[in-house]
Amino acid sequence: MRRTMLLALTLAPLTSQAIPLGDDFALEIETALVSDYRTRGISQTQNDPAAQLGITLQHASGLYLGAWTSNVDFGFDSKTRQEVDYYAGWYWQATDDISLDVGYLKYVYPKSSLYNLSEYYAALTAYGFTVGANYSNDSGSVIGDDQDTLYSYVGYETALPLEVGLQLRYGRMDFKDPVYMAADGKESADYHEWEVKLTRDLIGLTWGLSYIDTDLSKTECASSYGFDDVCSSTWVASVSKKF
């Protein structure tokens, strides 16, 4: 099974939302409740809700490190019920409108190391548009061997009237070897996914509503993840708080 998180870091060195720790360091804490934990279009909780927490230590140079966690449920009596991600990187802001984010991300699943993997990531943002990629050479799959994987995506973020935020993303997940099988027996090694998200800050919280979908059929979904409904289109509601 394949389950990874798209790390959406909206970091700026010593952002005003973070907790200052002297002149050069700041700590950012974010909590969230989501109606379904979806990453790259695939549910990590069998379409059930999740509680999530992230902590990031930032330096004025743009360097950062942190950890993020969420409950997960992969079914089939999987022992792990938690995902813990550790990451470190560098955020460089050329201007208010242009930035680069590069780093390393390690996914850890307590009690089920079979799912553990690591990724290198990079994202370039300019005037609201983002182009990014995550690469892994130790990702597991249904065939049981380590896979080279590449997730590439484009995104756009802007502000709408009434203080509503709009976030768009279109991505492609590509495996080295075929991991999906259609009803006609045809195998494939990639799929596409997309998300449209609206956000609004209200009473000190950020409220969100996303429409998420993939181009995987029910048969292809079940062939890799064991269930035919974890790749289907869905609406995801969220509420988060950043300190």
* Helix (H/G/I), strand (E/B), else coil: 220: helix
- Cβ-proximal residues to 107 (8 Å cutoff; 6+ apart), any chain: 4, 5, 83, 84, 85, 115, 116, 117, 118, 119
pLDDT over threshold 70, residue 4: no
Average the pLDDT over 66-76 and give the result: 95
What average pLDDT does the chain have? 91
Give the span between the Cα atoms of 242 and 171, in whole angstroms: 26
Q: Please work out, in degrees rounded to the nearest 5, the angle formed at the alpha carbon of residue 28 by the alpha carbons of 80 and 82.
A: 5
**Percent residues over pLDDT 90 in the chain:** 81
The per-residue pLDDT for range 83-100, each reduced to its tens digit, is: 999 999 999 999 999 999
Residue 66 clears pLDDT 80, i.e. is over it: yes
Question: The pTM is what?
Answer: 0.91
Higher-confidence residue: 36 or 1? 36
Radius of gyration of the chain (CA): 18
Tens digit of pLDDT for each residue in 173-207?
A: 999 999 999 999 999 999 999 999 999 999 999 99
Going by CATH, does the domain composed of 19-242 fall within 1.10.10.10?
no
Contact between 150 and 133 (Cβ < 8 Å): yes
